[in-house]
């Protein structure tokens, strides 16, 4: 299988690099941890090595070293489409190589062959109450497939440790192949009177998803989904969802248990849920002024949000210190295809206004827009107006990144994670001891 051969070709070199680092430089100090970092979400403390993707504060996300713009121009695209095949994105992330069209299509085909979703998954989704959140349904559906895990079976049938990653890769391909139909089933159940549309195997990953949620007659929406999945596929493995997926995976939990856990983290309002909050805020802004607001009106509205002690959704980032290139890519998409869309124009007035106002607060470290500032606007344009579904779209895409990190963690034999906790009393006495020693110097 194409990805297995690709990883197999590289894995011993990576293992040697990691072994050399730990054997020869295991005591090298990377950073010291401060009391305030411990009390503020271990902010900025290096806790992972992330070769699959890396958030460059000044340039944005890089996948295997490539910027978003490079990826958009270098990955293979189908004729008559403007955005790369998702199979190519997965090849780059998982296989650490820019694929040819043939290799990108090989992954697309692999997904088609593995795409059948077991019936019990749909029954589990059906058993949720009507008011259930789409993310709870999605996460439970992914979790339910744990019984199909080839890794778990192999683990209990004495699979060799150095081959764990092969079974994890096998499971990852099954999961990522099935996930679009599961996400589509949830959409149709909640928002299209349960009118389900089966997969069309002649279509690529993104176009097939578009088809299954009833958008098959608009080729531009398939292009948007190619772009959307590419932009959301990964963002380092130290954020809440990816780190959760990795942490659970480090206990040798299978891919379904690990990815479902990651999705639960993504469902939080400070993480993946922000994209729906962002669009609701924009919609409210538009409705308040009954149309595209002026810069003056947006200034008033932003001030009101800040005065209420709230954040401006879609602006700021824990790591980035520049305009998110994913925002730029989405802005270019809208500029090209629907520059006059009123919600897009509203978002652009916010873009002209918010950064200066956030700078003026004197405390916001990054006043620039992140990807959430436009996600909802683009989906809304195509009639995907149900903002509580936007995080599922994010999860569908991010499952690519989760699975790549977990497979490679297994390939490199990364052990179970077990950091150390301290008590408040211990911290106080450590500080007191240090002060005592300083006083006696
Ligand atoms: C993304 C986010 C959570 C990062 O938080 P962070 O790393 O703590 O950001 P900062 O270090 O710049 O925060 C410093 C201060 O600026 C504030 N701030 C940051 N972004 C802000 C925003 N968009 N609007 C208003 N205030 C903001 C913080 O609340 C904090 O205020 P405090 O000291 O009174 O608590 C934050 O920017 C935010 O809430 N943005 C809006 C929501 C969003 O877009 N989320 C999606 C992220 S991809």
Q: Which atom of ligand 1 is nearest to the CA of 310?
A: 25
Catalytic residue among 51, 56, 148, 271: 271
- The verdict on 53 and 104 lying in the same domain is yes
Paired with 182 in beta bridges are: none
* 143 and 239 co-located in one domain: yes
Domain ranges, residue 334: 281-378
* Cα radius of gyration rounded to whole Å, the chain: 23
For ligand 1, atom 13: residue with the closest CA = 364
Say if residue 93 is in the same domain as residue 186: yes
What are 9's two structure tokens?
């070709």
Take atom 36 of ligand 1 and give the residue whose Cα is closest: 316
Ligand 1: does its nearest atom lie under 6 Å from the Cβ of 363? Answer: yes
Same-domain pairing of 349 and 363: yes
291 and 319 in a common domain:
yes
Closest Cα to atom 32, ligand 1: which residue? 363
Closest Cα to atom 19, ligand 1: which residue? Answer: 364
Question: With a 6 A CB cut-off, is 367 part of the ligand 1 pocket?
Answer: no
Residues 306 and 316 in one domain: yes
Question: Is residue 97 within 8 Å of 237, Cβ to Cβ?
Answer: no
Is residue 89 one of the residues assigned to a domain? yes
Q: Does one domain contain both 287 and 297?
A: yes
Q: Is 72 a pocket residue for ligand 1 (Cβ < 6 Å)? A: no
| Residue 32 lies inside a defined structural domain of this protein | no
Of the candidates 317, 324, 381, 405, the residue annotated as catalytic is: 317
Residue 354 sits in a domain of what CATH number? 1.10.230.10
Report whether residue 312 contacts ligand 1, using a CB cutoff of 6 Å.
Answer: yes
Verify that 75 and 170 share a domain, yes or no.
Answer: yes
Q: 370 CB less than 6 Å from ligand 1?
A: yes
**Do 114 and 236 share a domain, yes or no?**
yes
d(CA 24, CA 18): 10
State which of 268, 316, 321, 364 you would mutate to test the pocket of ligand 1, scoring each by most atoms of that ligand within 8 A of its C-beta: 316
Atom number of ligand 1 nearest to Cα 365: 12
Is 311 near ligand 1, meaning CB less than 6 Å away?
yes
340 and 274 part of one domain: no
Q: Is 112 domain-assigned?
A: yes
Are residue 53 and residue 125 in the same domain, yes or no? yes
pTM of the model: 0.96
- Domain with residue 107: its CATH number is 1.10.580.10
Distance, CA of 186 to CA of 50 (rounded, Å) = 32
Burial environment of residue 325 by CB neighbours within 10 A (0 to 12, 13 to 18, 19 or more)? buried
* 271 is an active site residue: yes
Q: Are residues 338 and 275 in the same domain?
A: no
Q: What confidence score (pLDDT) does residue 370 get?
A: 95
Last residue of a domain, one of 378, 402, 432: 378
409 vs 83: CA distance, rounded Å: 30
What sign has the CA pseudo-torsion 135, 64, 154, 201? positive
pLDDT at 44: 87
- Dist CA 298 CA 305 (whole Å): 10
The two tokens of residue 32 are: 């010291």
- Distance (Å) from CA 318 to ligand 1 centroid: 7
Distance CA 249, CA 103 (A): 28
Catalytic-residue membership of 232 = no
- Going residue by residue through the chain, which has 441 residues, state the pLDDT in tens, using 9 for 90 and above: 889 999 999 999 999 999 999 999 999 999 999 999 999 999 889 999 999 999 999 999 999 999 999 999 999 999 999 999 999 999 999 999 999 999 999 999 999 999 999 999 999 999 999 999 999 999 999 999 999 999 999 999 989 999 999 999 999 999 999 999 999 999 999 999 999 999 999 999 999 999 999 999 999 999 999 999 999 999 999 999 999 999 999 999 999 999 999 999 999 988 888 888 899 999 999 999 999 999 999 999 999 999 999 999 999 998 999 999 999 999 999 999 999 999 999 999 999 999 999 999 999 999 999 999 999 999 999 999 999 999 999 999 999 999 999 999 999 999 999 999 999 999 999 999 999 999 998
Give the C-alpha separation, 77 to 89, whole Å: 11
Cβ-count burial 132-160 (b if 16+ within 10 Å, e if not)? ebbbebbbbbbbbbbebbbbbebeeeebe
Beta carbon of 313 within 6 Å of any ligand 1 atom: yes
Please give the distance, rounded to the nearest whole angstrom, from the Cα atom of residue 295 to the centre of ligand 1. Answer: 22
Number of structural domains (the chain) is 2
């Amino acid at each position: 299988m194409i990805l297995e051969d690709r990883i197999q070709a590289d894995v011993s070199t990576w293992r040697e690099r990691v072994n050399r680092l730990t054997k020869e430089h295991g005591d090298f100090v990377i950073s010291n941890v401060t009391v305030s970092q411990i009390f503020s979400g271990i902010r900025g403390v290096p806790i992972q090595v992330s070769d699959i993707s890396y958030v460059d504060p000044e340039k944005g996300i890089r996948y295997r070293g490539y910027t978003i713009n490079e990826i958009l121009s270098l990955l293979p695209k189908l004729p008559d489409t403007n955005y790369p095949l998702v199979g190519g994105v997965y090849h780059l992330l998982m296989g650490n190589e820019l694929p040819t069209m043939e290799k990108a299509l090989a992954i697309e085909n692999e997904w088609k062959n593995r795409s059948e979703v077991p019936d019990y998954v749909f029954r589990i989704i059906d058993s949720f109450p009507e008011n259930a959140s789409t993310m709870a349904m999605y996460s439970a559906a992914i979790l339910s497939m744990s019984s199909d895990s080839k890794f778990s079976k192999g683990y209990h049938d004495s699979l060799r440790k150095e081959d764990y990653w092969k079974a994890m890769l096998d499971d990852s391909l099954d999961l990522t192949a099935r996930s679009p139909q599961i996400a589509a089933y949830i959409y149709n159940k909640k928002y299209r009177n349960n009118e389900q549309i089966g997969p069309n195997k002649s279509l690529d990953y993104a176009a097939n998803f578009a088809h299954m949620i009833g958008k098959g007659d608009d080729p531009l929406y398939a292009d948007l989904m190619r772009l959307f999945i590419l932009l959301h596929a990964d963002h380092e493995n130290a954020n809440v969802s990816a780190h959760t997926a990795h942490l659970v995976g480090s206990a040798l939990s299978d891919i379904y248990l690990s990815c479902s856990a990651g999705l639960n983290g993504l469902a939080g309002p400070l993480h993946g849920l922000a994209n729906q909050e962002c669009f609701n805020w924009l919609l409210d802004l538009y409705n308040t002024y009954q149309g595209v607001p002026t810069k003056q009106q947006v200034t008033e509205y932003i001030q009101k949000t800040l005065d209420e002690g709230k954040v401006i959704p879609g602006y700021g980032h824990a790591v980035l210190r520049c305009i998110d290139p994913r925002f730029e890519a989405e802005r270019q998409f809208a500029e090209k295809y629907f520059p006059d869309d009123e919600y897009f124009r509203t978002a652009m007035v916010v873009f002209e206004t918010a950064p200066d106002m956030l700078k003026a607060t004197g405390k916001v470290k990054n006043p620039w827009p992140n990807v959430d500032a436009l996600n909802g606007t683009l989906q809304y344009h195509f009639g995907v107006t149900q903002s509580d579904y936007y995080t599922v779209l994010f999860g569908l895409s991010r499952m690519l990144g989760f699975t790549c990190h977990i497979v490679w963690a297994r390939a490199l034999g990364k052990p179970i994670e077990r950091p150390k906790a301290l008590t408040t009393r211990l911290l106080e006495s450590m500080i007191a001891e240090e002060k005592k020693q300083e006083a006696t110097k």
